[in-house]
Amino acid sequence: MMLSPSEPLIIATHNPGKLAEIRQMLAPYGLTVRSAGELGISEPEETETSFAKNAALKARHSALAANLPALADDSGLVIPAIGGAPGIYSARWAGAGKDFTVAFTRIEAELAKHNAPKNPPAHFICALALSLPDGNVHFFEG
């Protein structure tokens, strides 16, 4: 599958910072990038149970709305000592203001509640989904 520089790639986001980062990463490839926000495409509710599935949901939503290929991500922090939390809920733990100080305060409280070590192992997961207008989705996770 090849993306064409003549056909815009929709980035399924309303976040200007995320759009700028992705636009910069894709610039060497000559792709035209537009955001779902710029095109007036709504944000779907993230109702899935994994990073990959949430990314696919967002990418598919934008691809179908624009009839163009769309790229979406879902990412978060996974801390096994507290059952994998915050996981897919990482942004929600930051609250409506997306203040990650709030999220880290909650993480500290959860660690204490679980008698976990103060600095337990943790990892960050990012899943990308590239959806074509025909509904075909390609996944990338790391």
11: burial class by Cβ within 10 Å (0-12, 13-18, 19+)?
Answer: buried
CA atoms of 142 and 124, how far apart (whole Å): 8
First to last CA, the chain: 21
Q: List residues with catalytic annotation.
A: 74
CA atoms of 61 and 2, how far apart (whole Å): 20
